[in-house]
Amino acid sequence: MKLSALVSPFLLLFCIVTSTRLQAQQIPIRASCPEAAQYYSKDSINIVTFGASTVEGVGGFGFQTMLQNNFLNCYTGKIVDITNHGIGGQTTKQGLLRIDNAILDRTGFIVIDMGINDAISINANRGGSVAETEANMRLIISTSLKQNLVPIICTLQYVDDRTNTSLVAVNTTIRSINAVYRRLAIEYKIYLADVNAIMRRDFTLYQDSFHPNARGYRLISYVIFDTINKAIFDKFLLFVVSQNYPNPASTTTYLDIVLPETDKINIQIYDLMGRLVKTVVNEYLNTGKHTLEINTSSFVPGIYFYKLSSDSGLYNSAKKFIVAR
């Protein structure tokens, strides 16, 4: 009896701690949703993921499912289609031979993540060079652009060189390749998912010397998710003009507009007689969401209209609102 009395509290504590840990592991971790998700202009999000083993997935882990869940969570009502074209061990030269089939009849985005095997091959004197990797990546990018895909190029994570001195040189080559990828992203005006900058040398995110573990893949999914959202913000927003709020207005009201691209925007307010009462804005606004404050303290109570037009002629809208005291 005395032994039982001593053991039970410890068993109870063990069960509580174990249960808490299991519950923590089961809690889904989701990326925060960007504002662009509210204004996405397409019915679907289509993504080709292209590369070597990191793309293919290793040890039962990969980033595609997590990436898809992030989009489904944020882009409600949209179809999310992600294809996996990763083949472990391949270099960019081998990838170049199959890029056409991977993107055949595809639309949307392509995530390109390969080059670590190039670095390994270069340092093992099995062929290739940083210049050749650059040439191959240029062709992969240009082929994707010709298909009207939006390329997302990933920087390469480091390999774990802490106990393998031969991998120190591989990381030096990876740094050189990443410098090339950053330059190509600028040159081609495409998007860079800077995986290397986020993972750094945190090898607790690895399952072996080369490949991410579950936490590492989750981090990669976040980096790619954020980068594609940036592309959506730049290229695929709806044109939106909100109803002003509050409405009826008293002394101040607000108006939200979302622009798919930079344009000169003119917003004017008219009374019921068609007389111009106020010009809210008449200037260039950049892509994205803008919240405009309108001072209505001098307005006579009544019904008004605000009209939006653009220099390009692409954007026009008119809405009614009320001023009341």
In tens, the pLDDT along 161-198 reads 999 999 999 999 999 999 999 999 999 999 999 999 99
**Alpha carbon 195 to its chain's center:** 12
The answer to whether residue 308 scores a pLDDT higher than 60 is yes
pLDDT for the residue numbered 13: 41
Check whether 2 has a pLDDT greater than 80: no
Enumerate residues 6+ apart whose C-beta is below 8 A from 184.
134, 137, 138, 141, 153, 190
Angle at 227 between CA 225 and CA 228, to 5 degrees: 65
Query: Which residue, among 166, 246, 146, has the nearest Cα to 209 in the 3D structure?
Result: 166
pLDDT digits (tens, 9 = 90+) for 140-156: 999 999 999 999 999 99
> Would you call 278 helix, strand, or coil by DSSP?
strand
Q: What is the mean pLDDT of the chain?
A: 91
Q: Is 126 helix (H, G, I), strand (E, B) or coil?
A: coil
Q: Prior bond to 301 cis, omega within 30? A: no
Using CA atoms, how far apart are residues 95 and 50, in angstroms rounded to an integer? 8
Q: What is the mean pLDDT of residues 99-118?
A: 98
What are the tens digits of pLDDT across the range 272-290? 999 999 999 999 999 989 9
* pLDDT surpasses 50 at 21: no
Please give the pLDDT value at position 129: 98
For residue 114, give both structure tokens: 């390969």
Q: How confident is the model at residue 118 (pLDDT cuts 50, 70, 90)?
A: very high
17 pLDDT above the threshold of 60:
no
How many CA atoms lie less than 13 Å away from 119 in the CB half-sphere? 24
- At residue 323, the pLDDT reads 97
The residues pairing with 151 across neighbouring beta strands, listed in sequence order, are 110
* Interatomic CA distance for residues 142 and 126, integer angstroms: 27
User: For a pLDDT cut of 70, what percent of the chain falls above it?
Assistant: 91
Burial of 127 (0-12, 13-18, 19+ CB in 10 A): exposed
Domains of the chain and CATH, by start: 31-235 (3.40.50.1110), 240-323 (2.60.40.1930)
State the Cα–Cα distance between residues 279 and 266, nearest whole angstrom.
8
